[in-house]
Structure 1
Amino acid sequence: MKLLGQQIADILTQQPVDSSVVVQGWLRTRRDTGACSFLELNDGSCLKSLQVVVDEGIENYVSTIKKLTTGCSLRVHGILVTSPAKGQTVELQASEVEVLGWAEPATYPLQKKRHSLEFLRSIAHLRPRTNALGAVTRVRSVLSHAVHRFFQEQGFIQVHTPIITTSDCEGAGEMFTVTSLEPSVFSGNDPFGQDFFGRRAGLTVSGQLQAEIFAQSHGRVYTFGPTFRAENSNTSRHLAEFWMLEPEMAFCDLTGDMQVAEAMIKFLVSAALDECGDDLGLFDQHVSRGLIDRLTQVRDQPFVPMTYTEAVDTLLQSGQSFEYPLHWGSDLQAEHERFLCEQVAKAPVIVTNYPSEIKPFYMRLDDGGNTVAAMDILVAGIGELVGGSQREERYDVLAGRMQASGLNLEEYGWYLDLRRYGSVPHAGFGLGFERLVQFVTGMQNIRDVIAFPRTPGSAPC
């Protein structure tokens, strides 16, 4: 028994006909014909709406029912019966309709028509009521739950890493500064000395470094939460606030890292296919044709491994003209990544052993020192979905790479201590959760797979 009563999703799939039900939701449309009105009611629990049939003999038919407009919230009592209408199995014969909240028809922006996603971004507080954004929200919820199921079943422990940090994991200087000081106070050689934390702090770009602490005490851990990047990129692929999933595993090498990442992606895709059939059908029909087939292939087919060197050679020999020139030592761009998985492998690709110069300091140097034990998982339509590596467990090597990256070894003394006291081989990866939701739904703009997108110049609600 649900504490707050039944939802439309339950009524459409579980409630027997000829039973009395009470349902609450928002009115999508009202259609009058003859001696009755047909109300399309949706409560967000599923893609489908429930048809409510209201006979003109109901007490408030003229005073209330005939005045209902899109967006009104209702509570309806009635009997669930078999529906004679095509496309639905049941409908509700109403005995009582109560208006909980009226919607002003002159100003309510969501009408019975298709609205552009660009328009819906301008009304972030109302767009979850639409089919597309409602479906995204349900898929996102299922994927989030599946994340925890996968890692808990694999023996991982969840760790809540800090949102406010003094460590820049990526070393790119794109952190938002957190301060309690007024701008006029900032001056001198140590402007943050009088600040709340006594030093400069920012919103985290990654929980990886802190997760490594717990990996070296608990073996297998994962962190899943919001991260932030002050990158002035106003594109369909970037957000200033996004969610990151970051597992870390002690006693693990690059091969084990790749195996866990591939198994996780297959598990999450499978969960979406099993639990979000109607919503994925909407995306397949209206957003990205062939989506369900592509997801099924990802679930069922092995990923294709190739080294960075093999990937570059393949791209250079393809004869394809790319916007961004490519050579050994340059980072792969989204167009290169997508070509590899969409045109070459026709499956997700795991690219390994990248040049050390283009990867962060914490990645383990391969023999020879030119490449690192890194891996990226590339998928169709997105490019990089997962990025990970075996971490550098050797104190001297790590300290040298940190110095070469311009990091203050004293500030990162705690991180080096992990290599002084019982260091072990360990590995991990990061998955941008919004990119996963994009991949599973086929949505083209990352701003349409998060409830309240934060981008340069925009922070609604």
Structure 2
Amino acid sequence: MKHTKVKSLLSSGTTISEVNAKGWVRTFRNNQFIALNDGSTINNIQCVVDFENTPEETLKRITTGAAVSVTGALVESQGAGQKYEIQVSKLEILGDSDAEKFPMQPKKHSLEFLRENAHLRVRTNAFGAIMRVRSVLAHAVHTYFQEKGFVYVNTPVITGADAEGAGEMFQVTALPLDNLPKNEEGKIDYKKDFFGKSTNLTVSGQLEGETYAMALGQIYTFGPTFRAENSNTSRHLAEFWMIEPEVAFNDLDDNMDLAEDFIQFVIKYAMDKCQDDLKFLEGRLLDEEKSKPQAERSEMALLEKLNFVLENNFKRVSYTEAIDILRDSTPNKKKKFQYIINEWGADLQSEHERFLVEKHFKSPVIVYDYPANIKSFYMRMNEDNKTVAAMDILFPGIGEIVGGSQREERYDVLVEKMRTIGIDEEELWWYLDTRRFGSAVHSGFGLGFERLVLFVTGMTNIRDVIPFPRTPQNAEF
């Protein structure tokens, strides 16, 4: 008999004489009631076992974490909390289950403990909900761009280019590490390596994406990226996923319009498709908030925060205006900021970004026209020769969530910027070619997918919104 998903059974509009469900036991109480979950929904279905006619050996094997198959009638539930339950006529234990050693017992575990058991943590309600939301958000990304006529481009994971110019890259080599070949200068001879040159894992698909936008008009990438940044914080991962659209003929204003429309679309999509999961995560967040001091509690509940993004137009403010606001703000004057704003040119920190969103404008904010010396080489220089056509989108509770810019399409200006910061023109000859042949105004942005999932789920540590986090000193699983 073909089994039916728990989600379908719970949403059934009628009783059914015989159904089969398969899943994992969340709890088993009174030798009679199984709470069964198969991952299709946050909700369990209650399965009532005929314990008088079930062998004792079988009952002993119905433990938390056990995989089981139940067959019986779907009937209206006699208890509170669920509309339907299964009156079990046949029960089968599908695999081995060691109740004494299974770590995911039906109690609240710390997030640290769950990270140490990342291979099993998805069996908890919280991580099941997070991963379903993540899946729906990924589908929303593709849905948005495909409906808008964007072409999905798979840019290389292995590259010889450093898109950010920061040098924090994982090296890829097939050379024997215990006997590295050297050239006449005594340096590693990468000509003998697999690719004939020094290569790395990509930090961004942007540069390659730009080349395709210059032929296909509008493209997007959505793939893994890597940073060898030794930052062991709740905001950093060594491996994460990036969404990067690039659009020919779009200027900075067009770029801001696209980013705002896109991010509102994917958040609304998740809210429409993941109502049960988001309500659960909101309740979980509210419980956590109760244990925090009043000053550290979030001002908005999860769903309120998501609606805050949907219901408010994003306020657009220049970097110069933002600096003036921050410099004159009460927390800056009273030195409540950890990083005091004294002068134009300061790099905005998360505390400044959140002040602009949560206290000053009380809406999502897009800051644009940043100082050139704190932004990447590929961003278009403005006419003042000191700012670039860059933009960051700032959200409540998280600060920056999107970063983008109008790209520098002028060949001579781009070459001069590369020379100034020491980027080898020969390494990026192909990138410069797009400025030599048919160059045009174009723009794009990057959104770290985990940062989006973090915001939508209300989690506070980015390691909890990716299946298997990769961080300094941790590549387990």
Q: TM-score, normalised by structure 1?
A: 0.96
Classify the secondary structure of the residue corresponding to 2:87.
Answer: strand
Change (3 A) 1:351 1:55: same
| CA distance in 2: counterparts of 1:350 and 1:4, whole angstroms | 51
In structure 1, what is the equivalent of residue 283 of structure 2? 285
Q: CA deviation at 1:328?
A: 1.3
Mean Cα displacement is larger for which, 403-412 or 287-296? 287-296
Structure 2: 5+ residue runs without aligned partners? 287-299
Q: CA deviation at 1:4?
A: 7.2
Classify the secondary structure of the residue corresponding to 1:224.
Answer: strand
Aligned to 2:195, which of 189, 194, 197? 197
5 Å matches for 1:39-54? 39-54=34-49
Classify the secondary structure of the residue corresponding to 1:409.
Answer: coil
Q: Which amino acid aligns with 1:324?
A: Y
In structure 2, what is the equivalent of residue 299 of structure 1? 310
Aligned to 2:408, which of 355, 378, 392? 392
CA RMSD of aligned residues (A): 1.4
Query: 2:320 aligned with 1:325, yes or no?
Result: no
| CA distance in 1: counterparts of 2:181 and 2:85, whole angstroms | 65
| CA distance in 2: counterparts of 1:251 and 1:162, whole angstroms | 24
5 Å matches for 1:317-356? 317-320=328-331, 321-326=336-341, 327-356=343-372
In structure 2, what is the equivalent of residue 357 of structure 1? 373
Q: CA deviation at 1:189?
A: 3.3
| CA distance in 2: counterparts of 1:4 and 1:305, whole angstroms | 54
Q: CA deviation at 1:331?
A: 1.1
Q: CA deviation at 1:67?
A: 3.7
| CA distance in 2: counterparts of 1:18 and 1:411, whole angstroms | 66
**TM-superposition CA deviations, 1:38-85 (whole Å, max 9, x none):** 100001111000100011344x34230244111110011111001121
Classify the secondary structure of the residue corresponding to 1:373.
Answer: strand
Q: Which amino acid aligns with 1:394?
A: R
In structure 2, what is the equivalent of residue 105 of structure 1? 99
Q: Which amino acid aligns with 2:373?
A: E
Q: Which amino acid aligns with 2:51?
A: E
Aligned to 2:143, which of 149, 157, 169? 149
In structure 1, what is the equivalent of residue 170 of structure 2? 176
Query: 2:119 aligned with 1:121, yes or no?
Result: no
| CA distance in 2: counterparts of 1:414 and 1:129, whole angstroms | 47
In structure 2, what is the equivalent of residue 55 of structure 1? 50
In structure 1, what is the equivalent of residue 388 of structure 2? 372
**TM-superposition CA deviations, 1:87-108 (whole Å, max 9, x none):** 1100001110000013211111
| CA distance in 2: counterparts of 1:340 and 1:380, whole angstroms | 9
Classify the secondary structure of the residue corresponding to 1:88.
Answer: coil
Classify the secondary structure of the residue corresponding to 2:401.
Answer: strand
Mean Cα displacement is larger for which, 399-408 or 7-16? 7-16
Q: CA deviation at 1:15?
A: 5.8
Q: TM-score, normalised by structure 2?
A: 0.93
Mean Cα displacement is larger for which, 159-168 or 273-282? 273-282
Q: Is the 8 A contact 1:434 1:450 kept in 2?
A: yes
In structure 1, what is the equivalent of residue 291 of structure 2? none
Classify the secondary structure of the residue corresponding to 2:136.
Answer: helix
| CA distance in 1: counterparts of 2:409 and 2:101, whole angstroms | 61
Query: 2:156 aligned with 1:162, yes or no?
Result: yes
Classify the secondary structure of the residue corresponding to 1:447.
Answer: helix
Mean Cα displacement is larger for which, 38-47 or 49-58? 49-58
Structure 1: 5+ residue runs without aligned partners? none
Q: CA deviation at 1:18?
A: 2.8
**TM-superposition CA deviations, 1:325-351 (whole Å, max 9, x none):** 323112111111111111111221100
Moved over 6 A (4+): none
Change (3 A) 1:37 1:61: farther
**TM-superposition CA deviations, 1:322-375 (whole Å, max 9, x none):** 112323112111111111111111221100000000111100001121100000
In structure 2, what is the equivalent of residue 85 of structure 1? 79
Q: Is the 8 A contact 1:71 1:102 kept in 2?
A: no
**What is the identity percentage for the equivalent residue pairs of Structure 1 and Structure 2?**
54
Q: Which amino acid aligns with 2:401?
A: L
Q: Which amino acid aligns with 2:47?
A: V
Query: How many equivalent pairs are there?
Result: 455
In structure 1, what is the equivalent of residue 255 of structure 2? 257
In structure 1, what is the equivalent of residue 322 of structure 2? 311
Q: Which amino acid aligns with 2:49?
A: V
Aligned to 1:65, which of 59, 65, 69? 59
| CA distance in 2: counterparts of 1:15 and 1:238, whole angstroms | 45
| CA distance in 2: counterparts of 1:125 and 1:66, whole angstroms | 25
Query: 2:209 aligned with 1:214, yes or no?
Result: no
